[in-house]
């Protein structure tokens, strides 16, 4: 059922500084300042007020946009200060009224997107030379403190009253859902017993104890708080590897056309088969060679094909995740000239070490593919004649739970039938054989949340495949190397793919989410994999329990004066 038929307003993730209602972005040379001043009467959905700088998904959509723009539009910025626009209050965290009235899917998607935004801040610190300082000028609770935890340094005003707190468990019977538990012990190395106290004390921890336990990095009296923040920002900016001068590129508004059953961009098209519960993605490769050097990337700006596709794919993923929850399977096709995709990969790889913009484009692809990995959807890739599953686009096939590649040429007879016109399962009528091509992009620059490349995630030892980089591999070769799952011929193609998608649609979505998340991320754990695996799985379950979301659960009775009625049984 389409959004309009459901009577639901589409959540839009595209915005810009001129549209911000909750954040102010100011840049002064190498230091930028992001000021959170939430407009109480401007929630994403009606029914609650955003008091005390509490936030909802709309606030985080603006923050995500601002972080992206700082990376691409402000290359000279080496330090970013996150501060509050309200006196004596930093941020009360996620808005509780919003959480109480939100459906389960919205709560989960909210936590997931918020985590991805926090991870983007940390990625900018580690890989882009933009370090973040959090200026905590008053109480920082729940998601407010979790925003601080995503920064490199936390400066707390030492006024005897301001605290940092993670009160979700005692007040709401849920967990700090945007990575707070994991960042405390994995990132800040806070002792487990200290973390336990913080997470069970609704009043939080202030001043000297917060500093002693490593919950903050510095205290400053209110009289010199602003000066201390400015000093640290200048120090971090001086350490940055960002270029000291030079123009960035504008992230121009995305051109999109939404329809009842899909969305179309310049290089990405999504068609939805609602009967099958499946979205069919088509990514179109470049139609001309890339510029000769990294300076040419800046000249093309946001029209540069790898950047344009990353932005469009990112937006499409977010749209489907938030607005099309019943579409549980995503099928990917990529069409175009493999040589042109390989040329774009080569330019980015050769320029990554000495040009900030080439590095940022690659990092954007990394973040977009990570978002795809953790989207709780079944992923299928279809590789046919005319495909360009090469390098960065081959990552879509390597991310897939199953990959089908046509063995040989398609039949001359046209294929008919299917729920969508044109039939989304039909073969491409391009002549010649399908092929895939590995490039350097497949061997490390685009890791998953567990730190492994998707090749390593598939094999755990992918070094032997390096000798095949740059070669066009046909279906039997790709199958022999383990790059694809099945290689039907032209006669069996449509039936095999259709049966696989129909079978997928018949399974429990909950069980599929658990199956896919467990199988996709073998090998080591990282802070990110723990957040999106262990923490998210527990929070997903806890959100549905009566102790949190039942009629007398903590989320429902918060602020009424009534006590939550807990089922005391441990499960």
Cβ-contact 195, 181 below 8 angstroms: yes
Q: Are 217 and 304 part of one and the same domain?
A: no
> How does pLDDT run across 149-194, given as a tens digit for each residue?
999 999 999 999 999 999 999 999 999 988 999 999 999 999 999 9
Neighbours of 438 (CB within 10 A): 26
Any domain includes 516: no
Residue 149 backbone phi and psi in degrees, to 5: -65, -25
Describe the strand order of the beta sheet including 79-84 as a list of residue ranges.
Answer: 23-28, 31-36, 79-84, 131-136, 153-157, 218-220
Dihedral pair phi/psi, residue 92, rounded to 5°: -85, 5
Q: Does one domain contain both 433 and 294? A: yes
- At 1 the pLDDT is 43
Question: Is this structure's pTM higher than 0.85?
Answer: yes
pLDDT at 6: 40
Domain-located, residue 540 = no
Those residues with Cβ within 8 angstroms of residue 409's Cβ, 6 or more apart along the chain or in another chain? 385, 431, 432, 433, 490
Domain range for residue 397? 258-506
Asked whether residue 2 is domain-assigned, the answer is no
- pLDDT attached to residue 405: 97
Is residue 164 situated within a structural domain? yes
Distance CA 82, CA 36 (A): 7
Number of compact structural domains in the chain: 2
Same domain, 122 and 203: yes
* Residue 249 counted as domain residue: no
Let me know whether 220 and 311 are in one domain: no
Q: Are 175 and 181 in contact (CB under 8 A)?
A: yes
Please give the pLDDT value at position 4.
36
Residue 309 lies in a domain: yes
Residues 209 and 305 in one domain: no
Residue at a domain's end among 506, 527, 550: 506
Is 563 within the bounds of a domain?
A: no
- Quickly count: other Cβ atoms within 10 Å of residue 228's Cβ: 18
Alpha-carbon gap, residue 94 to 60, rounded angstroms: 10
* Same domain membership, residue 274 and residue 155: no
User: Which of 181, 209, 239 is the endpoint of a domain?
Assistant: 239
Q: Which residues contact 405 (CB under 8 A, 6 or more apart)?
A: 383, 384, 434, 436, 475, 478, 479, 484, 486, 487
For residues 141 and 379, what is the distance between their CA atoms, to the nearest angstrom?
Answer: 37
**Residue in the block written with tokens 């941020």:** 91
- Can you give the pLDDT at residue 536? 86
Asked which of 506, 533, 557 is the last residue of a domain, the reply is: 506
Distance CA(40)–CA(53), nearest Å, equals: 8
What local confidence, expressed as pLDDT, does residue 423 receive?
67
Shared domain for 349 and 316, answered yes or no, is yes
Q: Tabulate helix, strand, coil % of the chain (nearest 5).
A: 45, 15, 40
**Do 70 and 218 form a contact (C-beta atoms < 8 A)?**
no
CATH code, domain carrying 59:
3.90.226.10
380-389 residues labelled b (16+ CB within 10 A) or e (exposed): bbbbbbbbbb
Q: Is the dihedral of CA 307, 312, 317, 319 positive or negative?
A: positive
Peptide bond into 422 cis (omega under 30): yes
Q: Helices 104-127 and 356-373, interaxial angle, to 10°?
A: 150
At residue 430, the pLDDT reads 67
- Together in a domain, 229 and 269: no
Identify whether residues 37 and 103 lie together within a single domain: yes
Query: How is 357-388 classified by DSSP, letter by letter?
Result: HHHHHHHHHHHHHHHHHTS--EEEEEE-TTB-
Distance in angstroms (rounded) separating the CA atoms of residues 314 and 473: 28
Residue 262 Cα to chain centre, angstroms:
21
What length does the chain have?
571
Amino acid 245: pLDDT: 72
CA–CA distance, 411 with 28 (Å, rounded to integer): 62
Q: What DSSP state is assigned to residue 52?
A: G
Q: Are residues 263 and 230 in the same domain?
A: no
CB 215 within 8 A of CB 198: yes
Say which residues have a Cβ less than 8 Å from residue 500's Cβ, sequence separation at least 6.
Answer: 380, 402, 404
514 within a domain of the structure (yes/no): no
pLDDT of 431 reads: 67
Q: Kindly give the pairing relationship between strand 278-284 and strand 329-335.
A: parallel
Residues 192 and 291 in one domain: no
pLDDT value at position 385? 96
What string of pLDDT tens digits covers the 571 residues of the chain?
A: 445 334 468 999 999 999 999 999 999 999 999 999 999 999 999 999 999 999 999 999 999 999 999 999 999 999 999 999 999 999 999 999 999 999 999 999 999 999 999 999 999 999 999 999 999 999 999 999 999 999 999 999 999 999 999 999 999 999 998 899 999 999 999 999 999 999 999 999 999 999 999 999 999 999 999 999 999 999 999 999 888 777 899 999 999 999 999 999 999 999 999 999 999 999 999 999 999 999 999 999 999 999 999 999 999 999 999 999 999 999 999 999 999 999 999 999 999 988 999 999 999 999 999 999 999 999 999 999 999 999 999 999 999 999 999 998 876 554 333 333 456 666 666 668 999 999 999 999 999 999 999 999 988 778 889 999 999 999 999 999 999 999 999 999 999 999 999 999 999 998 998 899 888 888 889 999 999 988 888 888 898 999 999 999 999 999 898 999 998 988 7
148 and 203 co-located in one domain = yes
3-state SS assignment for residue 536 = helix
Q: How far is CA 244 from CA 75, 254, 297, 550, in A?
A: 8, 29, 19, 54
């Amino acid at each position: 059922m389409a959004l309009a038929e459901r009577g639901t307003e589409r959540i839009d993730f595209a915005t810009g500084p001129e549209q911000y209602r909750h954040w102010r972005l100011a840049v002064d040379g190498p230091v930028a300042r992001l000021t959170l001043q939430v407009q109480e009467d401007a929630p994403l959905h009606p029914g609650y007020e955003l008091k005390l700088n509490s936030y909802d998904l709309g606030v985080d959509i603006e923050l995500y946009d601002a972080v992206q723009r700082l990376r691409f539009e402000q290359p000279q910025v080496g330090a970013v200060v996150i501060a509050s626009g309200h006196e004596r209050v930093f941020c009360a965290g996620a808005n509780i009224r919003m959480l109480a009235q939100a459906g389960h899917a919205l709560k989960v998607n909210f936590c997931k997107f918020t985590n991805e935004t926090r991870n983007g801040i940390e990625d900018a610190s580690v890989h882009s030379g933009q370090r973040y300082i959090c200026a905590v000028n008053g109480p920082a609770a729940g998601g407010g403190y979790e925003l601080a935890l995503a920064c490199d340094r936390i400066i707390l005003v030492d006024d005897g009253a301001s605290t940092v707190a993670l009160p979700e468990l005692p007040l709401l019977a849920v967990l700090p859902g945007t990575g707070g538990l994991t960042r405390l012990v994995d990132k800040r190395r806070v002792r487990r017993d200290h973390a336990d106290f913080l997470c069970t004390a609704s009043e939080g921890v202030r001043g000297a104890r917060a500093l002693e336990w490593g919950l903050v990095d510095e205290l400053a009296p209110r009289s010199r708080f602003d000066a201390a923040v400015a000093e640290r920002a200048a120090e971090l900016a001086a350490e940055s590897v960002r270029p000291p001068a030079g123009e960035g590129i504008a992230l121009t508004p995305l051109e999109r056309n939404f329809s009842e059953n899909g969305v179309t961009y310049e290089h990405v098209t999504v068609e939805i088969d609602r009967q099958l519960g499946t979205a069919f993605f088509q990514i179109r490769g470049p139609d001309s060679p890339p510029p000769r050097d990294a300076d040419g990337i800046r000249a093309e700006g946001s029209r540069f094909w790898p950047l344009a596709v990353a932005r469009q794919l990112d937006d499409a993923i977010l749209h489907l995740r938030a607005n099309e929850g019943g579409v549980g399977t995503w099928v990917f096709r990529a069409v175009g000239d493999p040589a042109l995709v390989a040329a774009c990969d080569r330019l980015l790889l050769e320029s990554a070490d000495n040009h900030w913009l080439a590095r940022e484009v690659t990092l954007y692809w990394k973040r977009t593919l990570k978002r795809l990995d953790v989207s709780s959807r079944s992923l299928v890739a279809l590789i046919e004649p005319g495909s360009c599953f090469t390098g960065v686009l081959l990552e879509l096939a390597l991310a897939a739970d199953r990959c089908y590649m046509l063995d040989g040429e398609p039949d001359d007879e046209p294929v008919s039938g299917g729920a969508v016109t044109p039939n989304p399962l039909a073969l491409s009528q391009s002549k010649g054989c399908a092929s895939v091509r590995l490039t350097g992009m497949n061997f490390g620059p685009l890791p998953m949340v567990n730190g492994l490349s998707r090749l390593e995630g598939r094999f755990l030892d992918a070094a032997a495949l390096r000798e095949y980089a740059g070669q066009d591999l046909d279906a039997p070769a790709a199958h022999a190397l383990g790059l694809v799952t099945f290689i039907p011929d032209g006669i069996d193609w449509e039936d095999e793919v259709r049966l696989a998608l129909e079978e997928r649609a018949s399974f429990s979505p909950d069980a599929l989410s658990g199956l896919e998340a467990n199988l996709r991320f073998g090998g080591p754990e990282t802070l990110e994999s723990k957040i999106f695996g262990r923490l998210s799985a527990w929070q997903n379950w806890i959100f549905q329990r009566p102790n949190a979301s039942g009629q007398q659960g903590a989320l429902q009775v918060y602020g009424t004066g009534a006590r939550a009625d807990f089922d005391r049984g441990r499960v």
